[in-house]
Chains A and B, each alone.
Chain A
Amino acid sequence: MKPGEVERKNARIIRQYRSARTGRQSVDVLFCARANLFQQPGGDTEVVINLKRALTRLGFRVDFRPSPSADVHCELVHIFNCDTPIAIQSALLGKPYVVTPMYEDINRYYIRSMRAVSYFRDYLDSGDWLLLESRLSSLQREDERPVAMDWKFPLCNAAAICATGAAEADTIRRQIPEVGAVEIVRIGFNRPVEAEQVSADLFVDEYGARDFVLCVGRLESRKNQLMLLYSLQDDDIPLVFINSRTVQPGYEDLCKRFRRRGKTVFTGRVKPEMLWSAYKAARVHALPSWYELPGLASLEAAWFGCSVVAADWGTLPDYLRDSVFYCSPYDPVSVREAVRKALEAPRSDIGRRLLAECRWESEAERLAHIYRRLLDERETQAAVSRLERAAENARAEQSYHQRRGRTLELMRTDIARGLPLMDRLIAERPDDPLNYLFRGEARLKLGRVSQAEEDLRASIAIKKVFQEVTHLYLALALIQQKKLHEAREALLEALEIYPFMNEGSKAIVADYLARCDAAMQSETGDTTSE
């Protein structure tokens, strides 16, 4: 090449690829999900990867972006998890979207699961099992409280909703009655064919355990491993946890502090061969999760012939039907009983027979049918109207969020000007807990403590578990009004429902509790002296 030729060729390539015709990929379906889907993989990652691979074989061109973007042209958007910003963006771009919400019945389990962590933490600190038993039994009576994120927009404006099982579909319909039809596209199951060559001895030689109770999964409050540890505390049977990296290190610490009569092993993350070997060496797989959709570990365990113990709160019954020893996730007696029965049952191939129906290929076919229907309908008046409606709703939603953002910004610097705007926002959306929290905080700063209390209580009434600071502000408002018993109650409740509270908040709680105690003591002293 002559001098200057490389530069000229570079420039030609730049011109060619920056022309208007290119610079934009074209696909049939754009998958969208959380931005860290592939960096912090979870069950949703497996769903996205396997559906994409199966849909590609059916002739669909599929790509992934964290949100619909200008560099990809698509006919349809498919959102995984309930993500409001992605749904708004899709609607604003005039794209019909399908949503696979992976909708957990969070109202049912979340507060219970948080309380359980606090109860076990206190038990590990004090050893007071009578108190633990009494507190655990109260979990059964816990009311279902709305704690879910605001998932109305993505679900109510979707062109189609795909649940992973009947239980999930029922939960969606019950909690958001306005949604349209909910269709079932189940999770597929990849047969670990390479596992046939792996022997149980690999695990036995490495960890010195056989015929144990196995529990595979990250150590985290939703998976409820503390309940399993407590249920089998006095049993001799070895308990093996194959635990990949947790997102709740505090929970992992509690699990590892638990002492039980039988041997307990935490292997950490292991290679697939070791995992398969563990399934072969185990008698029972027990995962008393508060909720699973449906829980890959339970499916794998069933495939390998383990007896499976699990809670029946998720969609597992759609997959393994009555082959599972079901338990109540809040009840240690029920967990222990299920494990005992499972230990007595022989290994069986019923899991394999049931899972033979769970193929990504057939689920992708089901999904392809939904896509084709939406693509065929896209020119119809009904579809066009739905898209227009969704876009209009998205604009309203976006405008609301922008106004709220500006109002919150203003309230940081100029409370007096911000408050009337916040009043208007609350009138517009009386079900948004964040607005009450910020108005409560502002009123607290202005010394209007009884009004602040009212707002903070309203925020908690809408969503009990939302931001721990709500409880702290409420306690402060109560302390300032000398409602010391109520303040104390709010603080203790905060400690209970936010077991992973950060150190700064913990210090504030301790300080406020000390203030309450001191004030109460001085009140008692005053009364006595009177």
Chain B
Amino acid sequence: MRLAFFSPVNPVESGISDYSESLLRALAPRCTVDLFVDGYRPSDPWITENLRIVDCRRGDARGLLAGYDGVLYQMGGTPGHHKYMYDIMLEHPGVVMLHDLIYQGFFGDLWLKTGRPDLFIAEMRRSYGAAGEEVARNLAAGRQVPFETIKKYPMNKRMIDSALGVAVHSRSALRQVVEVRPQVRCQLIPHHDFGWSAWAQQGYDPAAANLSAKQKLSIAPGTKVLACFGFIVATKRPDVVLRAYARLRQDIPDSCLIFVGEEKYRVSEYLRFLELDTSVRITGYTTSEEFRTYLEAADVCINLRYPSQGETSGAVLRMLALGKPVIVTNHAWFAELPDSACAKVDADRYEEDLLYGFCKALLTDADYRLAMGRNAHEYAQRHCALDMVAGQYLDFLAECAKGGDR
């Protein structure tokens, strides 16, 4: 199969860049892949040495597409990273992996923030009629629109309508796509684990790695480490995490909390309020190697997310693959993870209590912690292994290439 693969890759900083780089490595031995990018040279030498790179800003990238057996678009919610493929996918149908389900933010950034509310309103009218137009006008006027309303107008209709096939990472996303276009070919392809579960099978000793990572990070070996990964943003519920940790610290003083990522949502003043300024670390940007060291040092990972745009989390897949117990929000894709492999917290008035309860139980009960970690690793290995996911992509691309609706 000759495959045209549209995705941001590094140096574009994005979870989808990392996702695609791993996937490309797994696809390359099984088909001929050309990578279509938006005006830059990929920084990963393996990519530049092994794949043909097509820069969509140069020449007639669109004209080349007829020569491929399949076209795959890795579509996310950041216009700077995905606008180029959005324009092409409407003209050249292919398989679209929807990394998000709600694209209000994408079109808002694309049009509302750049002084083109007319395009935003027109798109909402085209997809959702007068009701959509009304919501669009409110958004364009800068009025607050509740998330419950936003969810009803996810602005993904044209992508779904124009695609030969739609791939998603979760059952809830699949249901919603089929609601938009019942006859669409839609396939659940799990988020891959970056090959980490396979790698963790090969003589990896999690306990030794944990100790060594703590040493590297100057954390005392007996310290219980809680860690949150990725950008600190409001939807990752940092305030709730901090309040729960402030209580937990009374019970487990030899613990620490680390936010591994940049502070997009400012928490430093709230840390002062909670008098946690000396017991919580914020790392800022980390390299992938540093990221892994922090992950290995973590005894328990926290990855809350509410509200969600229907996205998955590459960080959670890495945690699972490495056998880390993870606490997630019982919502969207996260709710579909098996109960044996993680702990789930509802985003309601009990959220803080429950988070506190799970953290305390996991940090104080080693059997529970290790068993959850083992289950997590097994789940990643059975359902999210990189090679297996690559095969699912190729099968779905072949099926869609045959044409016709479901």
Residues of B327-372 contacting chain A, CB below 8 A: 339-341, 343-344, 349-350, 352-354, 356-358, 361, 365, 367-368, 370-372
Q: Which residues of chain B are within 8 angstroms of A4 by Cβ–Cβ distance?
A: 340
What are 30 inter-chain pairs, A to B, with CB distance below 8 A? A1-B367, A1-B368, A5-B371, A6-B339, A6-B341, A6-B372, A6-B375, A7-B339, A9-B361, A10-B339, A10-B343, A10-B358, A13-B361, A14-B354, A17-B353, A18-B353, A22-B350, A22-B353, A25-B352, A38-B267, A38-B269, A39-B265, A39-B266, A41-B269, A45-B269, A48-B273, A49-B273, A53-B273, A53-B275, A69-B349
- The minimal Cβ–Cβ distance linking A7 to chain B, given in whole angstroms, is 5
Q: Which residue of B is nearest A13, CB measured?
A: B357
Q: Which residue of A is nearest B343, CB measured?
A: A10
Provide the A44-61 mask, 1 if CB < 8 A to any CB of B, else 0: 010011001100100000
Q: Does A16 contact B (CB under 8 A)?
A: yes
A-B pairs with CB below 8 Å: how many?
73
B375 and A56 within 8 A (CB): no
Q: Does B272 contact A (CB under 8 A)?
A: yes
A23 and B349 within 8 A (CB): yes
Provide the A192-217 mask, 1 if CB < 8 A to any CB of B, else 0: 00000000000000000000000000
Q: Does A427 contact B (CB under 8 A)?
A: no
Q: Does A326 contact B (CB under 8 A)?
A: no
Assembly CA distance A7 to B371 (angstroms): 10
B372 and A49 within 8 A (CB): no
Q: Does A64 contact B (CB under 8 A)?
A: yes
Assembly CA distance A99 to B269 (angstroms): 21
- The minimal Cβ–Cβ distance linking A22 to chain B, given in whole angstroms, is 5
Which 3 A-B pairs give the minimum distances between C-beta atoms? A1-B371, A38-B269, A38-B270
A71-B344 contact in complex given A1-B367, A56-B275, A64-B273, C-beta closer than 8 Å = no
- The minimal Cβ–Cβ distance linking A123 to chain B, given in whole angstroms, is 29
Q: Does A130 contact B (CB under 8 A)?
A: no
A18-B354 contact in complex given A13-B343, A52-B273, C-beta closer than 8 Å = yes
Q: Does A382 contact B (CB under 8 A)?
A: no
Chain A interface, >50% SS class: mixed
- The minimal Cβ–Cβ distance linking A194 to chain B, given in whole angstroms, is 14
- The minimal Cβ–Cβ distance linking B360 to chain A, given in whole angstroms, is 9
B354 and A71 within 8 A (CB): no
Q: Which residues of chain A are within 8 angstroms of B357 by Cβ–Cβ distance?
A: 13, 16-17
- The minimal Cβ–Cβ distance linking A16 to chain B, given in whole angstroms, is 6
Q: Which residues of chain B are within 8 angstroms of A25 by Cβ–Cβ distance?
A: 352
A6-B368 contact in complex given A13-B357, A17-B357, A22-B353, C-beta closer than 8 Å = yes
- The minimal Cβ–Cβ distance linking A361 to chain B, given in whole angstroms, is 15
Q: Which of A9, A17, A41, A45 contacts B368 (CB 8 A)?
A: A9
Assembly CA distance A515 to B273 (angstroms): 55
A71-B349 contact in complex given A17-B354, A38-B266, A38-B269, C-beta closer than 8 Å = yes
Q: Which residue of B is nearest A66, CB measured?
A: B239
B367 and A17 within 8 A (CB): no
- Supply 5 further A-B pairs (C-beta < 8 A) apart from A23-B349, A23-B353, A49-B269: A23-B350, A37-B269, A52-B273, A53-B273, A63-B243
Assembly CA distance A45 to B270 (angstroms): 9
Assembly CA distance A7 to B376 (angstroms): 12
B266 and A17 within 8 A (CB): no
Q: Which residue of B is nearest A23, CB measured?
A: B350
Q: Which residues of chain B are within 8 angstroms of A64 by Cβ–Cβ distance?
A: 273
Q: Which residues of chain B are within 8 angstroms of A18 by Cβ–Cβ distance?
A: 350, 353-354
A71-B275 contact in complex given A1-B368, A17-B357, A49-B269, C-beta closer than 8 Å = no
Assembly CA distance A5 to B372 (angstroms): 9
- The minimal Cβ–Cβ distance linking A500 to chain B, given in whole angstroms, is 15
A6 and B371 within 8 A (CB): yes
Q: Which of B273, B358, B361 contacts A38 (CB 8 A)?
A: B273
Q: Which residues of chain B are within 8 angstroms of A52 by Cβ–Cβ distance?
A: 273
Assembly CA distance A38 to B273 (angstroms): 9
Chain B interface, >50% SS class: helix
Question: B: which residues have CB within 8 A of A?
Answer: 243, 265-267, 269-270, 272-273, 275, 339-341, 343-344, 349-350, 352-354, 356-358, 361, 365, 367-368, 370-372, 375
Assembly CA distance A49 to B276 (angstroms): 12
Q: Which residues of chain B are within 8 angstroms of A69 by Cβ–Cβ distance?
A: 349
Q: Which residues of chain B are within 8 angstroms of A70 by Cβ–Cβ distance?
A: 349
Q: Which residues of chain A are within 8 angstroms of B272 by Cβ–Cβ distance?
A: 49, 53
Assembly CA distance A4 to B368 (angstroms): 11
- The minimal Cβ–Cβ distance linking A327 to chain B, given in whole angstroms, is 32
Q: Which residues of chain B are within 8 angstroms of A71 by Cβ–Cβ distance?
A: 349, 352
Q: Which residue of A is nearest B345, CB measured?
A: A14
Q: Which of A13, A22, A56 contacts B358 (CB 8 A)?
A: A13
Assembly CA distance A467 to B353 (angstroms): 43
- The minimal Cβ–Cβ distance linking A34 to chain B, given in whole angstroms, is 13
Assembly CA distance A57 to B5 (angstroms): 60
The residue in B272, B344, B368 that gathers the most chain A C-beta atoms within 10 A of its C-beta is: B272
Q: Which residues of chain B are within 8 angstroms of A17 by Cβ–Cβ distance?
A: 350, 353-354, 356-357
Q: Which residue of A is nearest B265, CB measured?
A: A39
The residue in A6, A38, A49, A70 that gathers the most chain B C-beta atoms within 10 A of its C-beta is: A6
Q: Which residue of B is nearest A9, CB measured?
A: B368
Q: Which residues of chain B are within 8 angstroms of A10 by Cβ–Cβ distance?
A: 339, 343-344, 358
Q: Which residue of B is nearest A64, CB measured?
A: B273
Q: Which residue of A is nearest B269, CB measured?
A: A38
- The minimal Cβ–Cβ distance linking B347 to chain A, given in whole angstroms, is 12
Q: Which residues of chain B are within 8 angstroms of A23 by Cβ–Cβ distance?
A: 349-350, 353
Q: Which residues of chain B are within 8 angstroms of A7 by Cβ–Cβ distance?
A: 339-340
Provide the A66-83 mask, 1 if CB < 8 A to any CB of B, else 0: 000111000000000000
Q: Which residues of chain A are within 8 angstroms of B354 by Cβ–Cβ distance?
A: 13-14, 17-18
Q: Which residues of chain A are within 8 angstroms of B361 by Cβ–Cβ distance?
A: 9, 13
Q: Which residue of A is nearest B142, CB measured?
A: A502
Q: Which residues of chain A are within 8 angstroms of B358 by Cβ–Cβ distance?
A: 10, 13
Q: Which residues of chain A are within 8 angstroms of B339 by Cβ–Cβ distance?
A: 6-7, 10
Q: Which residues of chain A are within 8 angstroms of B350 by Cβ–Cβ distance?
A: 17-18, 22-23
Assembly CA distance A56 to B275 (angstroms): 10
- The minimal Cβ–Cβ distance linking B8 to chain A, given in whole angstroms, is 28
Q: Which residue of A is nearest B351, CB measured?
A: A71
Q: Which residue of A is nearest B273, CB measured?
A: A49
Q: Which residues of chain A are within 8 angstroms of B270 by Cβ–Cβ distance?
A: 38
- The minimal Cβ–Cβ distance linking A438 to chain B, given in whole angstroms, is 15
Q: Which residues of chain A are within 8 angstroms of B341 by Cβ–Cβ distance?
A: 6
Assembly CA distance A41 to B273 (angstroms): 12
Q: Which residues of chain B are within 8 angstroms of A24 by Cβ–Cβ distance?
A: 349
Assembly CA distance A444 to B356 (angstroms): 57
Assembly CA distance A38 to B243 (angstroms): 14
Q: Which residue of B is nearest A18, CB measured?
A: B350
Q: Which residues of chain B are within 8 angstroms of A56 by Cβ–Cβ distance?
A: 275
Q: Which residues of chain B are within 8 angstroms of A16 by Cβ–Cβ distance?
A: 357
- The minimal Cβ–Cβ distance linking B161 to chain A, given in whole angstroms, is 31
- The minimal Cβ–Cβ distance linking A85 to chain B, given in whole angstroms, is 14
Q: Which residue of B is nearest A50, CB measured?
A: B272
- The minimal Cβ–Cβ distance linking A58 to chain B, given in whole angstroms, is 14
Q: Which residues of chain B are within 8 angstroms of A48 by Cβ–Cβ distance?
A: 273
- The minimal Cβ–Cβ distance linking A459 to chain B, given in whole angstroms, is 20
Assembly CA distance A189 to B357 (angstroms): 38
- The minimal Cβ–Cβ distance linking B271 to chain A, given in whole angstroms, is 9
Assembly CA distance A53 to B356 (angstroms): 22
Assembly CA distance A290 to B344 (angstroms): 52
- The minimal Cβ–Cβ distance linking B163 to chain A, given in whole angstroms, is 37
Assembly CA distance A2 to B304 (angstroms): 27
- The minimal Cβ–Cβ distance linking A293 to chain B, given in whole angstroms, is 19
- The minimal Cβ–Cβ distance linking A518 to chain B, given in whole angstroms, is 28
The residue in A37, A63, A71 that gathers the most chain B C-beta atoms within 10 A of its C-beta is: A71
Q: Which residues of chain A are within 8 angstroms of B356 by Cβ–Cβ distance?
A: 17
Q: Which residues of chain A are within 8 angstroms of B344 by Cβ–Cβ distance?
A: 10
Assembly CA distance A71 to B350 (angstroms): 8
Q: Which residue of B is nearest A52, CB measured?
A: B273
- The minimal Cβ–Cβ distance linking A303 to chain B, given in whole angstroms, is 20
Assembly CA distance A49 to B341 (angstroms): 39
Assembly CA distance A38 to B344 (angstroms): 27
